[in-house]
Amino acid sequence: MSRAAFVVAAAFVLASSSGTVAQESKLFQDFRPGSEEAIHVEADKLEVSEPAGERVSVFTGNVAARRGDTVLKATTITIHSDAEAPASGKEAFNLIEAEGKVLITEKGQTATGNSASFNMKTQVATISGNVVLSQGTNILSGERLIVDLNSGTARVEQAPGGRIRGVFTPNAARTPEGQ
């Protein structure tokens, strides 16, 4: 999400009493339809199984997956694909799931949570559990972030009775990245 869009999202958060906010997002843009880039994965261990026509690859231990400028780190990342699908290419994966201290970074933006999923068929990315979004000194937190990768629309939700929280620094958009 651009800095301006992030600040606009803050205005929606502050005005929202329903516990949900929607805003256009560029987060996860490398997982949007049409990406030709490979997904690069590094881990301590890999286990592959093929139950009922599906190939399930479970990467564990200091896992990092990168596609373009987007980096996903977690304790465990599971990649689901059809057993008959090609081993690489844009049709290779159906679903990517991440568990345990999930960290997603992309061009100065960071999202953290307890779990995440990227459904390649529906093009929906979800981060759940103590979600924190940050860009520079701007911070937004909630229970769940849902991003429609087709439209770029992002929605932050909070558990019933909870509240979405944000800290937005005036003129933060003028601060050079990395400071």
Question: In the prediction, which pLDDT does 22 show?
Answer: 41
Interior CA angle at 131 toward 21 and 71, to 5°? 110
- Name the fold adopted by 3-169: lipopolysaccharide transport protein A fold (2.60.450)
Question: In the prediction, which pLDDT does 94 show?
Answer: 86
What are the structural domain ranges in the chain? 3-169
Question: In the prediction, which pLDDT does 36 show?
Answer: 74
Structural contact between residues 6 and 138, judged by C-beta atoms closer than 8 angstroms:
yes
CA atoms within 13 A on the CB side of 177: 9
Q: What is the pTM of this model?
A: 0.75
Question: In the prediction, which pLDDT does 129 show?
Answer: 96
Question: In the prediction, which pLDDT does 172 show?
Answer: 60
Mean pLDDT by 10 residues, the chain (179 residues): 36 35 52 71 95 91 91 95 65 85 90 94 92 91 91 88 88 52
Question: In the prediction, which pLDDT does 153 show?
Answer: 87
H helices, E strands: number in the chain: 1, 11
| Pure H helices in the chain | 3-15
Question: In the prediction, which pLDDT does 29 show?
Answer: 63
Helix (H, G, I), strand (E, B) or coil at 102: strand
